[in-house]
Amino acid sequence: MTGDELRALFLEFFEGKGHKIIPGSSLIPQDDPTLLLTSAGMVQIKPYFLGELEPPSRRLASCQKCFRTTDIERVGDTSHLTFFEMLGNFSVGDYFKKETIAWAWEFITQHLGMPEDRLWASIFLDDDDAFNYWLDTGMPADKILRFGEEDNFWGPAGDSGPCGPDSEIFYDLGEEVGCGKPSCAPNCGCDRFVEIGTLVFMQFNQDKNGNRTPLPKPSIDTGMGIERNAAVVQGKTSVYETDLFVPLLDCVSRLSGKKYGTDNEIDSAMRVVTEHSRGITFLIGDGVMPSNEGRGYVLRRLLRRAALFGRRLGLDRPFLKEIAEITIRQMEHVYPELKQRQDFILNIIEMEETRFGETLNSGLELIENIMATPSIKSTKIIPGEDVFRLYDTYGFPVELTSEIGASRGFTVDLEGFDREMDKQRQRAKAVQKFGSAGMVKNGVNNIVDIMTTPFVGYSGTKQRTEILSMLVNGDSVRSIAQGQEAGIILAETPFYGEMGGR
């Protein structure tokens, strides 16, 4: 069963159970300041759970693009991903634990064809309802394990929102894969038991101070990672061996002339390049632009990490664009925005990678010089000022300096780096104040409150369009003279609005 088939099967199954299939949302969360990037299928469902919006149906299902920043450094092993697809079914005050557990079981055993005796479940400590519903499926009592808040209480996503006890489903890859201890079981920490799905029983809303109040109606949020489940049904122990990743690894292999599966270090570098290229493609496809702050920084860090690991494979010219092209070709039928914005995505990748390549060489030279300084050579600590200079002048993410330093036995002074960052933020604030004063002077602020200007920069950087209004000192004018300072409002613009979201 291919990844594509698995995705389609899930949506068909839940459509058959009365669910409305809704499109996944952007990786940039809409109207949710608590989140940097969309990290789960429930992100767009949140306002329905909270009773703030009326859902199109009480039963919903989706396939959602997700991005998680917590594990970036761990990418390169056989399982951690930044970008992944999550399948989910949701109940907004409709069905609860009973149907959720029964349907998950039915889908996994009958439609994905996973053998029943390989499956385990975990539940929250005192959740006897969940325990009994699992017994109803035919799962033996000794394969239903109880865990505390750390393992079986989900959410909230961000610092507040819906949350509740959950139940996780595990697939046993077999004794030969695990640690071999007789006590080995789900949550052991070894590779034997793969978590293939999470069922969240949303009962509470948690505020910023950690107080939980019951939700108007108990709801259901579930998540199944496509990549992991594809690995299980395809009989693989790693997501990289599934049909979702093999074409990308093949591309890296073709570009670098290195073969996957012959050398641990090379394999790991190939996985980093593959995984990050895929993530970069989707991030830019949803409108994230490289920058030194927020999600733009996540993108920049990912791209630079991929470029750097590419060098370990002997790829010292820009190459990420080519893996992005394969990603687009492979995923465009599910995510048409990739095809629509293909030129834009590829251009941004090429520009950013070329620029990084140019600074990388001078940066690497600088790190060498810093590490060769006698005072630093003796302490094996790279000072915060130097880490900051690498970051600010050469665009070296601090994590990259750490990784390069660590490979030579050096650590970096992170506190010193943070101090320098703070100083820079103060400087940036002063500049921003100046900038907005200029905008108010020309009266632009009054106008943008009532108008939006469509952004057309995804298809090109030149645009013939109409001037809708001209402003001098806040007043609309019919003409402006040479040398006069004015604001103009266009019908559409290829200029990307970096500040203010307009």
Q: Does 490 bind Zn ion (CB under 5 A)?
A: no
Read off the tokens for 466. Answer: 């109409």
Residue closest to 299 by CA, chosen among 277, 283, 311, 286? 283
Among residues 8, 53, 125, 179, the one that binds Zn ion under rule CB under 5 A: 179
Contacts of 233 (CB under 8 A, 6+ apart): 1, 6, 112, 113, 114
Distance CA 147, CA 401 (A): 39
The CB-of-28 to Zn ion minimum distance in angstroms stands at 38
What is the dihedral angle through the alpha carbons of 332, 333, 335, 341, rounded to the nearest 10 degrees? 40
Helix ranges, 313-407 (H): 320-331, 336-340, 342-372, 374-379, 384-394, 398-406
Residues 207 and 156: beta-carbon distance below 8 Å: no
Binding window for Zn ion (CB under 5 A); candidates: 80-88, 173-181, 379-387, 464-472? 173-181
Of 184 and 439, nearer to Zn ion (C-beta) is 184
Q: How far is the CB of 185 from Zn ion (least distance, A)?
A: 7
In the complex, least distance from residue 192 CB atom to Zn ion, rounded to whole angstroms? 5
Rounded to a whole number of angstroms, the minimum distance from the CB of residue 147 to Zn ion is 15
**Residue 195 vs 243, nearer CB to Zn ion:** 195
Nearer to Zn ion, 193 or 201 (CB): 193
- Which of 178, 287, 296, 494 forms a contact with Zn ion (CB under 5 A)? 178
Cβ 180 to Zn ion shortest distance, Å:
7
Q: What count of other Cβ atoms lies within 10 Å of the Cβ of residue 218?
A: 18
Q: Which of 177, 188, 447, 480 binds Zn ion (CB under 5 A)?
A: 188
Please report how close the Cβ of residue 459 comes to Zn ion at its closest, in angstroms.
52
For residue 406, state whether it binds Zn ion (rule: CB under 5 A): no
C-alpha dihedral over 158, 162, 163, 168, to 10 degrees?
-90
Q: Which stretch binds Zn ion (CB under 5 A): 170-178, 235-243, 332-340, 487-495?
A: 170-178
Question: Is 177 a binder of Zn ion (CB under 5 A)?
Answer: no
Q: Which is nearer to Zn ion, 184 or 486 (CB)?
A: 184
Peptide bond into 165 cis (omega under 30): no
Task: For residue 19, give the nearest of 66, 87, 86, 85 by alpha carbon.
Answer: 87
- Phi-psi map region of 497: left, alpha, beta (phi>0 left; psi -120 to 50 alpha): beta
Choose between 189 and 435: whose C-beta lies nearer to Zn ion: 189
Residue 190 lies near Zn ion (rule: CB under 5 A): yes
Please, which residue, 190 or 351, has the CB nearer to Zn ion? 190
Alpha-carbon separation of residue 179 from 147, 184, 188 (angstroms): 20, 7, 9
Stretch binding Zn ion (CB under 5 A), from 117-125, 189-197, 228-236, 459-467: 189-197
Q: Between residues 190 and 406, which has the closer beta carbon with respect to Zn ion? A: 190
The residue (of 180 and 214) whose beta carbon lies closer to Zn ion is: 180
Shortest distance in whole angstroms from residue 190 CB to Zn ion = 3
Distance of closest approach, residue 181 Cβ to Zn ion, in angstroms:
6
**Beta carbon nearer to Zn ion, 184 or 421:** 184
Beta bridge partners of 65: 85
Percentages helix, strand, coil for the chain, rounded to the nearest 5? 45, 20, 35
- Answer yes or no whether residue 184 interacts with Zn ion by CB under 5 A: yes
- Total of chain residues touching Zn ion, rule CB under 5 A: 5
Question: Measured in whole angstroms, how far is the alpha carbon of residue 114 from the centre of its chain?
Answer: 28
Residues within the interface to Zn ion (CB under 5 A)? 178-179, 184, 188, 190
